[in-house]
Amino acid sequence: MTKPLSQQTIQRLAFVRFLHAQGIAQSTQPEPMSAAAILSFQDAVEHFLLISADHLEVNLPSSMQFLQYWEKLQPKLPAGQALPSKQALSRVNKLRVDLKHHGNIPSSHAVAQSKADVTTFFTDATLMIFNVNFNSVDMVDLVAHPTINRVLHEAQTHFDAGDIVFAMGGLAIAFQELLDHYTGRRIGGFGRPPFSFGKSIPTFRPERDQRGSAVTRQLLALTATTRELKEALQVLSLGIDYARYAHFNVMVPGVFKDAEGGTRIAVTDMDRATTTDDYQQARLFVIESALQAARTDATFEQLNARFPNDVDFDIEEWTWTGPAGSRD
């Protein structure tokens, strides 16, 4: 009888799938950048093997060679079955050692073969050990923010139903929720949110008889540019890769709030040409961005503990006097 999966095991498997998806994305880059995929693939496999040992209740020595996992896990596997892909993953491990310790860049062919080998391993081994389909392990379980998590799940239901365009709209909504959450957070009762970069910029609507004037054109241009710069600063300040954000922003349809407060999706002919691969890349980007932005949670918690909302602080002004002097 297969041991049921704990929530911790599910989250750890989600992280493995995240590393695997990250490796696949890296493998599509031109040489030599595609070589980074080998490191992600190896990390994903090693993490999976550690989770497998915990799940199967196998005690591992503190130090062991990569291929020893196949020997150590064997006694706890279903009768007559062996952990798959030993020879194939031995090749991946050798590529990783050559890259990390000897500086040898693998060829694009070797990277592509590694992607295929690692994917086959996860497909077979996840079903064997955990009795679940590897593709059913949802990386969204890594996203802690409840609203972002919910919208990502909702987008996936549309994708599963074959509506890729609407699913992409859901990803755009999830990312906007991420930005709104982190750029709107304050520290205690002090001033503006640190990641907001100024107040909200209202839409400039000139009078009809002023629409063609030079001043109006200038104000429209300044408003549009300032909005774009503000959003770029917000993205960068949260540690999100701006080049990938720009790519994501082109792939997903536009989203906006209507007069009643509902969310609308503006779909173009280009959006209707979206592919399954586009969706997977965009979804991975939102998940990675959510994990990256979540690093600020600990900072906010520390600062809010130091500067609570209900405490008034007295402010004194001192004059700097240099070394060991008296102060006024």
Are residues 157 and 122 part of one domain?
no
> Under a CB-based contact definition with an 8 Å cutoff, are residues 3 and 9 in contact?
no
Q: Count of CB atoms within 10 A of residue 165's CB? A: 18
pLDDT above 90 (res 120): yes
DSSP code for 190 = B
Residue 123: domain span: 7-137
List beta partners, residue 257: 263
Residue 110 lies in a domain: yes
pLDDT of amino acid 278: 93
Please report whether residue 231 resides in a domain: no
Residue 209 lies in a domain: no
Mean of the per-residue pLDDT values for the chain?
89
Do 83 and 167 have their domain in common?
no
- Judge if 164 and 245 occupy the same domain: yes
Say what the pLDDT of residue 326 is. 63
pLDDT value at 1 more than 50: no
| 154 and 273 fall within a common domain | yes
246-282 pLDDT tens trace: 999 999 999 988 878 888 999 988 888 899 999 998 9
On whether residue 20 sits in a domain, the answer given is yes
Q: What is the pLDDT of residue 319?
A: 83
Question: Residue 224: which residues within 8 A CB-CB, separation 6 or more?
Answer: none
Rg (alpha carbons) of the chain, rounded to whole number: 25
In a domain, 242, yes or no: yes
Query: Which whole number is the average pLDDT over 227-232?
Result: 93
CA distance 181 to 310: 22
Q: Which residue has the tokens 């990502």?
A: 152
- Residues 89, 126, single domain; the answer is yes
Whether 41 and 48 have beta carbons less than 8 Å apart is answered as no
Least confident of 174-188, 221-235, 271-285, 299-313: 299-313
| Nearest C-alpha neighbor of 116 from the set 146, 148, 91 | 91
Residues in the chain: 328
| Closest C-alpha among 95, 52, 46 to residue 76 | 52
* Residue 58 shares a structural domain with residue 161: no
Could you check whether the bond before residue 32 is cis, i.e. omega within 30 degrees of 0? yes
Do 152 and 244 belong together in one domain? yes
pTM, full prediction = 0.74
In a domain, 245, yes or no: yes
pLDDT in tens, 135-156: 888 889 889 899 999 999 999 9
Considering the domain architecture, whether residues 244 and 180 belong to the same structural domain is answered as yes
Q: In angstroms, rounded to a whole number, what is the distance separating the alpha carbons of residues 251 and 281?
A: 10
Q: What are phi and psi of 221, to 5 degrees?
A: -65, -45
49 domain residue, yes or no: yes
- Is 224 among the domain residues? no
- Residue 24 is predicted with a pLDDT of 93
User: Does the CA dihedral 270-276-281-287 come out positive or negative?
Assistant: positive
Residues 129 and 152 in one domain: no
Of 88, 111, 137, the domain-final residue: 137
The answer to whether residues 294 and 155 belong to one domain is yes
H or E stretch covering 218:
helix 214-237
Which one-letter amino acid corresponds to residue 318? W
Does 229 have pLDDT greater than 90?
Answer: yes
What stretch of H or E contains 96? helix 86-102
Q: Tokens standing for 227? A: 């909005």
Amino acid identity of residue 245, one-letter, is Y
- In this prediction, residue 105 carries a pLDDT of 96
Q: 69-97, pLDDT tens digit by residue?
A: 999 999 999 888 999 999 999 999 999 99
Tell me which of 327 and 88 has the higher pLDDT: 88
Residue type at position 298: A
Residues 120 and 173 in one domain: no
The tens digit of pLDDT for each residue in 18-69 reads 999 999 989 999 999 999 999 999 999 999 999 999 999 999 988 889 999 9
Residue 327 pLDDT grade (very low, low, confident, very high; cuts 50, 70, 90): low
Nearest to 40 by CA among 28, 51, 52: 28
How many folded domains does the chain comprise?
Answer: 2
- DSSP character for 187? B
Based on the domain organization, do 171 and 37 belong to the same domain? no
Runs of H (alpha helix) within 131-213: 146-160, 164-183
* Residue 109 pLDDT > 50: yes
Which H/E stretch holds residue 257? strand 254-257
Average pLDDT of the segment spanning 168-184? 94
